[in-house]
Chains A and B, each alone.
Chain A
Amino acid sequence: MFLRTALLVLRKDFTIEVKSREILYTTLLFALSCVLVFSIAFVKEGEPLEDAAAGILWIAIEFAGTLALGRTFERERYGETLRALLLAPAPRTAIYVGKMLGIVVLLGVCELLLVPLVALLFRSPLFAEPVLLVALLLTGTIGFAVVGSLFAAMLVRARTRDVMLPILLYPMTVPLMIAGVRGTVALTQTPADPTSAIMWIGLLACMDTVFLVLALWTFEPVMTE
């Protein structure tokens, strides 16, 4: 019941997105613009600053992810469909998990574009250890989606939700960003340092678990008025 509901919600979001591709395209383009702005800031005499690529990649993911979160939940606000979802005869946390998985998938698609782009623009050997990089991105993105989906759902009815989401989300995702960036740096430096990267991945997995459990406990009390 739980998994089935979550997957139904995920599939519904996927169907909507496939039809218009609005959130996907705009998020991608936003991420691209981010990378552009950062590259102007962080390139010195034609050469990218050392390790800038790692930071830029993760910042672009975070910024684009924040926008995507806002827009995904805006869809549920129009027509108050979130209310209707909360009325479904399934555990309410299943709705949360469905939305969260949707964000993971969306950001995953963005990363498919961003990673090669950043590698290219910044001449960064991001693909030196592809398996570890994927693991790093996966754990980091899941952590971001877990926290972000909860906060975005919480803020759906708030008047100042657009600005509150970044204000609340960015400090909360600091350890995720640190782990992500340092892990990426460990993978792209010469010589590569896979041991450190694995340690960071482990830390991320730990954070993901704690945050997910907290989110599952908190979702229902927070969503009922």
Chain B
Amino acid sequence: MTISVPSPPTAPVWRLSLSPPKAVTADFDAVSLLDVSRHFGRRRAISRLSLTVNSGDIVGLLGPNGAGKSTLIGLLATLVVPTSGEVRFGGETAQSLGTGLRRRLGLLAHELHLYPELSARQNLQFFGRLYGVSDQRVEAGLTRAGIEERADDDVAGFSRGMRQRLALERALLHDPRLVLLDEPFTGLDDRAVGIVLDRVRELAAGGAMVVLATHDLDLADGLVTRVALVRDGRLLADEAAAAGLRARYRSVVGHA
């Protein structure tokens, strides 16, 4: 059953804001958090944090629970609005870039963003169509996730590892420029971890920016090119990754 609706001409069906329609965003080469704070009443989730991610970086966002990693990912994904400071994508704010910005963002959080009642193929097709991605790309994504034989089975019956692979493909289906991964390694077996690592390296080599929030220092060790250590919403260190990541983490963040 196909419903194809012709997309409206450049002026959308109705416009409630007064700004003119935005052009599709060109690729940006850097994402910056400029003195960003986000607090909920008395609780400060992020405290005056400044960070720049450049094209090709794999930034490891490391810190204990409650450090604000998820809030940071939310800020970068334009799902959370800062109480002060700005988030700039290639020099522009999310507001001025409009909806085209989201075409260049990819997010994979712990909850995986999949509909268990739908099959793997249906999940990818749905999100693919939302992003305007062709069905061939969807099939390619299914193959990369290694689940072609079970593509028409409901996701509810998948193991955690299979779901994670599928979720990763869903997040990367539209070739995002900024890839945000929130704890992508939880519950994965060795092979799945290897797949994720390869994918991330491939993305960075292609010019994407990857921000990876994780607890797993060992996995981060071999992967990340830069390290951002956070605790209590504050950025304690922002440096190039070097050997002995665990020791460096312990000395800066401590056994929180």
Contact = CB atoms under 8 A, between A and B. Distances in A.
Interface stretch (B107-115, B189-197, B206-214, B233-241): B107-115
A89 B81 contact: no
B72 interface: no
Interface string B49-86: 00000000000000000000000001001111100000
Interface residues of A, number: 33
Contact of A224 (B14, B81, B132): B81
Contacts of B103: 89
Contact of B8 (A3, A84, A217): A3
A20 B105 CA distance: 32
Interface in A79-100: 79-81, 83-91, 93
Contacts of A19: 117-118, 154
Interface in B108-131: 109, 111-118, 122, 126-127, 129-131
A8 B7 contact: no
What class of interface size applies to chain B in its complex with A?
Answer: 35 or more
Interface in B1-56: 1, 3, 5, 7-8, 12-14, 16
B74 A80 contact: no
- Contact residues of B: prevailing secondary structure: loop
Which among B8, B100, B113 has the greatest number of chain A C-beta atoms within 10 A?
Answer: B113
A213 B16 CA distance: 9
A4 interface: yes
B107 A84 contact: yes
B233 to A, nearest CB: 15
Contact of A216 (B5, B16, B129, B132): B16
B12 A12 contact: no
A20 B117 contact: yes
B130 A5 contact: yes
A148 B104 CA distance: 32
A42 interface: no
A195 to B, nearest CB: 33
Interface in A42-101: 75, 78-81, 83-91, 93
A106 B185 CA distance: 39
6 closest pairs, A vs B, by CB? A84-B113, A89-B103, A80-B111, A89-B102, A88-B130, A16-B117
15 contacts: A1-B7, A11-B1, A16-B118, A75-B117, A81-B115, A83-B79, A84-B127, A87-B77, A87-B105, A88-B130, A89-B103, A89-B131, A91-B12, A216-B16, A225-B74
Given A2-B8, A79-B111, A80-B113, 6 more contacts: A8-B129, A15-B122, A19-B117, A81-B114, A87-B77, A89-B101
